[in-house]
Every structure is written in C-alpha cells, then in structure tokens.
Structure 1
C-alpha cells in the first residue's frame, strides 16, 4: 500500500513540476517581450523628449497606462518567476523525497517542508557567492592584464620569490622603489593545484591536503618511482601556502 501511495505522490510531483516549468517559461517569454518593448519605448521617448519636450503632456491616458504597464511588467514578472522557482523547488523536492521514502522504505530528505525552503535559500546564497567570486576573479585578471600592459616598458629588478618585484627601471633609466605582486597569484594557484585544493581554501584545508599527500608520497613508504620529487614539491607548496600568503592572496 505504501509503495502504491508513494508512486501516486511521485506522479503528482512530476505533473506539478511540468506545470511549474511551463509557467516559468511562459513568464520568461513575456518578460523578455516587455523588456524589448521597454527598450524601444525608452529610445523613442528620449528622442521625442529631446526634440519636443512637451510631447508627453498631450498623450491620452490609455497610452500612458500602456507605457506604465510595459515598464512595470518586467519587474513584477521576475519577482513572480522567483516565487515560482522557490515553490517548485521546495514543494517538488519534498514530494519526491516523500515518494522515495514510501517506495524504498528508507527515510529520504527532511521531515518538514520548511527545511527544503532553508536548503533552497542556502543553495541560492552559495550560487550568489560563486558568481561574485567568479566576477572578482574576472576583474582581477582584467586588472593584471592592464597592469602588465601599462608596465610593459619597464624592466624590473630585485625579484624575491615570495614578495615579487621590489624595484623598477623605465626605458629612460629612471629607477624607483616598487612593490608588486606580478607572478604571486599564478605561483600561489600553482601550489594550490599541487596540493589539490581550491585557491580559496583556508589553512585547515591546506594542512589536511598536505598531510594526505605527504603520507602517500613519503619516500620511505611510497612505491612511486618519483616519490622523492613529488614529496619535495608537496613540502615546497605547503611551506609557500603560509597563513601570511593565504591572507595576501585573498586581499588581492
């Protein structure tokens, strides 16, 4: 009986999921159309106001209402789409897990639907942070690219493996003090790759990864023919990824 009831709930969940997705797609299309109309009206409106400043005073009320509707629909539509996605995730995931629990006899997911709502918010926050981090990295890469192009005519002196360049000399022979991080970012990320950790990893994650690899490639216990070389690189990476350099990388 439980299996039959579970399959019934699963069927309802599939149907509701299809309805939610259909509504979301329809609203997305409507929002895109109204956004396009809004851009056209904005372009026409700016041109007309520039030429005939009092033109809009003579517009009929119906046309004014239509213009306001075109301006408001995208905002309301996006809010409603977000609400539908929220409801689709929380309700459908809850129903799927309940159905699986009844069919298999093993507990799946959470007991309360509010827990799914909290999970949805957490996943959206993680997605927001991921996009923010990607945008930060993109801006950093763009900055590094422009920085290197700007200082293309300079020859750098006083290089230190941990701190970068400590001085510079331009094409006219002028020498000055300069501290810059050219190469530090790439070196840091390369050492993170050696340890198999994300560049945003903290000191605890780095230490765990180091201990795991050091145990695996220690020359006294490893059968790998390149164990000594790998062990040296692992130690070099761990020594470089100090708390100071972790802080320095995250502040870049």
Structure 2
C-alpha cells in the first residue's frame, strides 16, 4: 500500500471517528512521520502540536526514551479563562491530561537570533493545558509507529491564560491539578515528567527543522502529560489549578 493510500485510510477513519480493528502492515515500509504529514495534509489546518513520550508511563508503554510529536487541528484548540467546548467534532470517549504548553512565534523557526534568544531563556508565552487524546488504533498493540502516523492520537487542546514562564525555570515542584467541585480528579508535579517542558520545547524546535515543516503563524505546543490521563464527563464544570490557584475553567458540551 502506498504512502498516499495509507494516509487516506487513516484520515478517513479519523474524520469519521472509526476505530481500526487491525494494524496496517504496510505502514512499516514508510517513515511514520512522512505518513503523519500526509495525513495532516488531508485534515483541517494545524493550530497546535502535542508531545508524547515525556513521562515514565508513556516511555514504558511505547518502549521509547525520546519525545514524539503530532499536529492538532486548529479548530480543536481552545484558549481562555472560561471555556465551553462543543464536543460534537471530537472523538469519544473524552479523556484528558494536564500539561504545560507554549505559544511559539513563527520567527523562532526562521530567525537564528530569535531562536538563540529562546534557547538562552528568552521570553515565550507559557500556559497550563488539558490535552485530550484519541487514536484510531488499538494501543499499545499496534505500536508507536501507528500512533505517530495517526497524528500521535490528537483530539483537542484546552489552554488557560498565560502564566509567567519564569515559574518553569528551576522550579520542579509546581503542582497541576484538575478539580470538579471539591473533588481532585487528577494531579501531578512537573517532576513527574522525565523530560522537563522547556527541554521538550527545544527538542520540538529541532524536530520541526529536521522534518522541514513550515510554520508560518504562532503555534501552540503541549509538552506531554504531567498528570494521569482521566475520563472527562460532559456538562461538568472542571477547574484547572496551578500551585493552588485556579487558572481556568472548562465545560465539555
């Protein structure tokens, strides 16, 4: 099966929210990131990227020590203090995990001075995020190559208001939590990520260069799970909290 036919098959299943019952054996003949780019070209425009393989669980799950990346559709990226998200376009069941995110200006990918400034602690917008994953393939049975080809199992990304990036420098004890009323649904420390968010950011920029992907507008990056991935209920108000302070609220409709 050619790369284009594999991409059409994956994108069709993704657009129709269909779970594939088996792996695609011919996928092993292709670079999974080449397949991913072909799939992304058949989907709506990209507004963000997600990272995986940054914590112990996912590294063991997929047998990797390196981050992997996938694009998220722009229409499924939501930013604000009080989000009400229509989930009709999202795959079910809904689940999510807490992450640190960044908004990367496109100049970083074309301007060496801007890149050098960022690498040495230059100003960049940081956020607390909830990343909602979903893949058409049964995992971990089909393996990492299938996950990468399927845009790394991207579903949606929710981001709150900007937080001071300086919080992330040298502070490994930042706690993120997801609350519903008085209940803490999930929580985690930045130390729960084997690869710190700022290191993921640097690795992602190198990845974009290597893959020769053109970035022409600001792009969000979710840097990998800090908390456990948990089921999310519709019509329930959730609060995302950073170090005891509520950052944003969201409801899935």
The question of a shared fold, defined as TM-score above 0.5 by the shorter chain, is answered with: no
TM-score (norm 1): 0.16
The structure with the largest strand share of the pair is 2
Between the two structures, name the one with larger relative contact order (CA 8 Å, sep ≥ 6): 2
TM-score (norm 2): 0.16
The structure with the largest helix share of the pair is 1
Structure of greater Rg? 1
